[in-house]
A and B are shown apart, each in its own frame.
Chain A
Amino acid sequence: MAEVKIKNLSKRFNLDSPLAVDGVNLDIADGEFLVLLGPSGCGKTTTLRCIAGLETQTEGEIYIGDQLVNGLPAGERDIAFVFQFYALYPHLSAYDNVAFPLRAQNLQKDEVDQRVQQVAKLLRIEKILKRRPTGLPSGEQQRIALGRAIIRRPQVFLMDEPLTNLDAALRTDMRVELKHLQADMATTMIYVTHDQTEALSMAHRIAIMNLGVLQQVGTPLEVYNHPATLFVAGFIGTPPMNLINCHLNGSNSLSDESGAFTISISEIQNLKSKIQNPNAPLMFGVRSEDISVDTAEGAGEVRGEVIVREPLGDETIYEVEIGQNIIRVKTEPTLILNTGDNVGLNFAHDRIHIFDAESQKAIKF
């Protein structure tokens, strides 16, 4: 078991291509479950493969435990890698697949067998040990791949979207199982996914990447409640955070270009002191659940027209048009509004976010 330290990791595949990973710094504690989250092509897999030694970084250092592993081949890093497509040896039985890493270490036959049985029991694959992986359902192939990863008791688990190819129900089950498995074994885990539900439900901490750049590292609640960048604000949460272009307006309010959306903020002095240029373009952000609807005539901080109603059963989402902007509001399912209704909106002021539109960073005020 070991911690993993990544210092200034960069990777460029071809001389003329942009950086696939751009100066990533990340410390992962011993026994931590860290999820690397980001949209397709943001460099998650590349980062993971650099840690595994399947890819050589252009720059930067990687430590596993206390050891600098930069030049070490994958086999000597004491890691286990689970591939998105499982990468099982097609001509070996499930048993031989799972036993393989132990045999490569020349362990005694008895011990190999004992450990395979143990792992098989843990993953509930005892019945299919004799079968070859091809032709087995993907869920079982996935378990075999997991078995092969955990049997050696490596220092670090590296998993690249291991649940992506499972169907939805199985994915939910496996999510829980994986989480328990990692907790029981207390082995450091770096887990790549583009699915925020997976990330939020499993991770101790989430590292969010975009275009090769690490955006924010934090616990699921931290990244949800305090997104550090515009990207994180827009990426995490369903529906995504409402974001409105705006600027400081007069003494105590923010408004969009047309002025249709104007909201006064009591901490405005605080905010002003954090901004060099008083005309700087800003971004106002608020989550749909932090907005309440007031149907009374003339009420609300801002007023707009209901244009779409999305009943989801346990809640209803309304899209409200205010000038050029559309704001999504999450409401109780009992609140029934019709399209065309003119309503007032109130914001939970302790839960609003202001971003610098140029640097894309959150402004704490």
Chain B
Amino acid sequence: MVNSGLTQNNQLDKEHSGDKPLRVRFRWLTDNRMSFLFLSPTMLLLLFIAIFPLIWSLRLSFTDWSVIGDAGKIPEPVGFHSYGTALGLGETRTEKRVGVEVAERFAITGQFVLPTVIIELLLGFGLAMLLNRKFLGRGLLMTVMLIPMMLTPVIVALYWKYMLRTDIGVINYLIHDIFGGPRIDWLNQIKIAIWALVLADVWMWTPFMMLISLAGLSAVPKYLYEAADVDQASAWFKFRHITLPMVTPLLLIAVLFRTMDAYRLFDQAWVLTGGGPGGSTEVMSFYLYLVAFKDFETGLASAIGYIMLIVIIALANLLIRKINEIADEG
């Protein structure tokens, strides 16, 4: 069977292409070309779902096109107008207001990102120091502590929405009923609402910092600590000159991840505060959403999106440069 099939195929080959064997006819199919062929379906898919929209939105950012009003019309280029507006260079009153809003929203984002990442770093690293030893039930404890990280952000936000309520929330129960403090209306007070977002994010992502810190801590060679013991080094010295320098590069990478992630926070703001009160928790992504899908200023929204992208790339590059510096020294 097999044999006859093969000969049949060979005959077919010959019929279609004279006497040339397959080896010769497919000589153009080098290993390199073959790998391109195998990759092409994925590449095409990527092109359609990621690269094309990226380029298209870049184009839109240079127009004043609106997905509702101008549907079907050809987008008309207006140069850097939208960028100017977003950066506060607009001339009309509305345009000026947009500029002010963008600046404000960036500030709000900073007020969220900075404390969040710092608290997560300190808490996560501290927990990792505590967990970086052998004790009974360590595995179980670690697993339990990693749960928040594995939940969906929206679900986490829903939990916190209930936990932060003034009437039945467990947080206020602790503050008021146990410790005798005042009930805090976390989600409806300007200046406090942003901390509700910080709280939920810290709860969710501290385990991530802890995990990376633990990886760093366990990679420090034990003999360094032993050498320090023989030399009568203090615990502080060991921390300052062995532990810290050895884990810093990894910690900075974790900080980079968390910064980029916190910077584009949306779900929690949407569920917990809805941007309120008074827009005080409208972080950038949230604001962008409003511009794009409430005001339907598609061109302007695209421009704001690109400004966000440039800011985060600049920030990430600063961090990456720092990481490389440290890596070079060590």
Interface residues of A (CB under 8 A from B): 52, 54, 73-76, 79-81, 83, 85, 87-92, 100-101, 104-105, 132, 134, 148, 152
A132 to B328, CA, bound (A): 12
Q: Tell me whether B223 and A85 are in contact (CB under 8 A).
A: yes
A280 to B156, CA, bound (A): 80
Q: Tell me whether A132 and B230 are in contact (CB under 8 A).
A: no
Q: Tell me whether A92 and B241 are in contact (CB under 8 A).
A: yes
Q: Tell me whether A74 and B242 are in contact (CB under 8 A).
A: no
B7 at the interface (CB under 8 A from A): no
Q: Tell me whether A90 and B245 are in contact (CB under 8 A).
A: yes
Q: Tell me whether B241 and A81 are in contact (CB under 8 A).
A: no
B19 at the interface (CB under 8 A from A): no
Known: A87-B221, A92-B241. A81 touches B230 (CB 8 A): yes
Interface residues of B (CB under 8 A from A): 221, 223-224, 226-234, 237, 241-242, 245-246, 329-330
B244, closest chain A residue (CB) = A91
A145, closest chain B residue (CB) = B227
21 A-B residue pairs with CB within 8 Å: A52-B230, A54-B226, A54-B229, A74-B230, A75-B231, A75-B232, A80-B230, A81-B226, A83-B227, A85-B221, A87-B224, A87-B226, A89-B227, A90-B245, A90-B246, A91-B329, A100-B231, A101-B232, A104-B233, A104-B237, A132-B329
Most buried by A among B221, B228, B231, B330: B231
Q: Tell me whether B232 and A104 are in contact (CB under 8 A).
A: yes
Distance of A105 from chain B, by nearest CB (Å): 7
A100 to B233, CA, bound (A): 8
Please name all residues of chain A whose beta carbon is closer than 8 Å to the beta carbon of B237 when the two chains form the complex: 104
Please name all residues of chain A whose beta carbon is closer than 8 Å to the beta carbon of B223 when the two chains form the complex: 83, 85, 87
Please name all residues of chain A whose beta carbon is closer than 8 Å to the beta carbon of B246 when the two chains form the complex: 90
Most buried by A among B224, B226, B241, B245: B226
Q: Tell me whether A81 and B233 are in contact (CB under 8 A).
A: no
Please name all residues of chain A whose beta carbon is closer than 8 Å to the beta carbon of B224 when the two chains form the complex: 87, 89-90
Q: Tell me whether B227 and A87 are in contact (CB under 8 A).
A: yes
A101 to B234, CA, bound (A): 11
Distance of B46 from chain A, by nearest CB (Å): 40
A75, closest chain B residue (CB) = B232
A83, closest chain B residue (CB) = B223
Most buried by A among B229, B230, B232: B230
Most buried by A among B221, B223, B246, B329: B223
Q: Tell me whether B227 and A81 are in contact (CB under 8 A).
A: yes
For the complex with contacts A52-B230, A81-B226, A101-B231, 13 further pairs of A-B residues with Cβ separation under 8 Å are: A54-B226, A75-B229, A75-B232, A81-B230, A83-B226, A83-B227, A85-B221, A87-B223, A89-B242, A91-B245, A92-B241, A104-B231, A104-B232
Please name all residues of chain B whose beta carbon is closer than 8 Å to the beta carbon of A132 when the two chains form the complex: 329
Please name all residues of chain B whose beta carbon is closer than 8 Å to the beta carbon of A85 when the two chains form the complex: 221, 223
Please name all residues of chain B whose beta carbon is closer than 8 Å to the beta carbon of A54 when the two chains form the complex: 226, 229-230
Please name all residues of chain B whose beta carbon is closer than 8 Å to the beta carbon of A52 when the two chains form the complex: 230
A148 to B230, CA, bound (A): 11
Distance of A155 from chain B, by nearest CB (Å): 12
**Can you list the 5 inter-chain pairs with the closest CB atoms, starting with the nearest?**
A75-B232, A87-B227, A91-B245, A87-B223, A104-B232
A245 to B224, CA, bound (A): 49
Please name all residues of chain B whose beta carbon is closer than 8 Å to the beta carbon of A90 when the two chains form the complex: 224, 245-246, 330
Please name all residues of chain A whose beta carbon is closer than 8 Å to the beta carbon of B233 when the two chains form the complex: 75, 100, 104
Please name all residues of chain B whose beta carbon is closer than 8 Å to the beta carbon of A81 when the two chains form the complex: 226-227, 230
A88, closest chain B residue (CB) = B227
A184 to B195, CA, bound (A): 67
Most buried by B among A91, A92, A132, A152: A91
Distance of B322 from chain A, by nearest CB (Å): 16
Please name all residues of chain A whose beta carbon is closer than 8 Å to the beta carbon of B227 when the two chains form the complex: 81, 83, 87-89
A85 to B231, CA, bound (A): 16
Please name all residues of chain A whose beta carbon is closer than 8 Å to the beta carbon of B226 when the two chains form the complex: 54, 74, 81, 83, 87
Q: Tell me whether B232 and A91 are in contact (CB under 8 A).
A: no
A91, closest chain B residue (CB) = B245
A87 to B227, CA, bound (A): 6
Please name all residues of chain B whose beta carbon is closer than 8 Å to the beta carbon of A92 when the two chains form the complex: 241
